[in-house]
Amino acid sequence: MSDIVAKALSDLTCGKNLESEVADAVFRKLFNGDLAGSQAGALLMGLRAKGETAEEVASGVKAALEHSRMVSGLSGKRIDTCGTGGDGRKSFNCSTAVALYLADMGYDVVKHGNRAVSSSSGSADVLEGLGVNLGTEPEDVAEALRKDHFVFLFAQNYHPAFGKVAPIRKELGIPTLFNLMGPLLNPARPTHQVLGVGRPEIMKLIAEVLALTDVEKAYVVHGAGNFDELTPFGINQAVLVENGKLTELEIDPSEYGFASANPEDVFVETREEAVEVLKKVLAGKAPVPMLDMVAMNLGASLSLLDDISLTEGMAKAKAKVAEGTSREF
């Protein structure tokens, strides 16, 4: 065992936070495949038991991105709408609908995602059902954005190093640091982000990690009803990240003219149903609670991109969702 790995495991055993250089080095070894399975498991369990810090998560993100297939040649504003998942709510693909609405409005969207984990259908599943290309290569991203303002970055195609830790995660069988990292690993490095989390207790942690990256403005949100998106089911929690500064706020749907609804109103049971529902949402013809949920998250996105108030963003989003997208699916 190397000295740096020994120090990391010793510090975690004592409940100490890892120093930045130690965290950087040990995560680099993890993604290089230089840790034995027992060492990797001890590292992940030690971090979980202690509670990860923003600096430790940021070190993991940095090491993972060093092994990712990064996208270059992009400029200007670009946004991602991606959540951590794990809320187990089996809701329709709201963040994917928001991404497609944004692209239809002319904003560049770099949608990072995967297949379903806790929902009926993940972003990759439902986009595949719409006929969207899941295999865009890094060198083709800029042209795809120029043409359609939208590109899907299929996580498993861009992060091959995760194959080295997948067996360890499976053996541990519990959530680890990697369950938090997905939305932080977009290889196109979005300038703006609406990032949903299913657990309110990790909102500030994720926001602090974003503040340590190059993101210009972002919302970390936790929706009423324990969703990883803003919802019309009650008071939502959010953290605005801007220029490294964090501002906590509550988002009450009634203040923006959204009617109260119930979580059951946005559930889908199968992948096939998720695809059909998404088509209706994009046409502006889905049930009101679904359209309202899209408008809320679209409004938050627009407030970031246009540098306007949430009130203005929500109003603009409601008008757009009422008319639907111009593209037929």
CA angle, residues 305, 310, 313, in degrees to nearest 5: 55
Q: What pLDDT, on a 0 to 100 scale, did the predictor assign at position 119? A: 59
pLDDT digits (tens, 9 = 90+) for 164-199: 888 888 888 888 888 889 899 999 999 999 999 999
Q: 67 Cβ partners below 8 Å, 6+ apart?
A: 31, 32, 159, 160, 161
Q: Which CATH number fits domain 3-51: 3.10.20.30, 3.30.160.70, 1.10.10.10, 1.20.970.10?
A: 1.20.970.10
Is a pLDDT exceeding 90 seen at residue 17?
yes
Q: What pLDDT, on a 0 to 100 scale, did the predictor assign at position 1? A: 67
Helices (H), 212-270: none
Residues above pLDDT 70, as percent of the chain = 97
Q: What is d(CA 113, CA 188) in angstroms, rounded to the nearest whole number?
A: 12
The SS3 call for residue 63 is: helix
Give how far Cα 265 sits from Cα of 92, 239, 260, Å: 10, 26, 11
Across the strands, what pairs with 80? 193
Q: What is the mean pLDDT of residues 54-66?
A: 96
pLDDT digits (tens, 9 = 90+) for 77-108: 999 998 887 666 789 999 999 999 999 999 99
What's the per-residue H, E or C state across 265-306? HHECCCHHHHHHHHHHHHCCCCCHHHHHHHHHHHHHHHHHHC
Q: 222 Cβ partners below 8 Å, 6+ apart?
A: 196, 197, 198, 199, 200, 203, 228, 236, 237, 238
Question: Which tokens in the block code for residue 93?
Answer: 């693909």
Q: What pLDDT, on a 0 to 100 scale, did the predictor assign at position 118? A: 53
Provide φ and ψ at 109, rounded to 5°.
-120, 125
pLDDT digits (tens, 9 = 90+) for 189-230: 999 999 999 999 999 999 999 999 889 999 999 999 999 999
- Going by pLDDT thresholds of 50, 70 and 90, the confidence category of residue 121 is confident
The CATH topology of domain 79-155+188-323 is Pyrimidine Nucleoside Phosphorylase; Chain A, domain 2 (3.40.1030)
Average pLDDT, the chain: 94
H/E element holding 83? none
Residue extents of the structural domains in the chain: 3-51, 79-155+188-323
**288-305 vs 271-282: helix axis angle to the nearest 10?**
70
Residue 17 half-sphere exposure toward CB, CA atoms < 13 A? 10
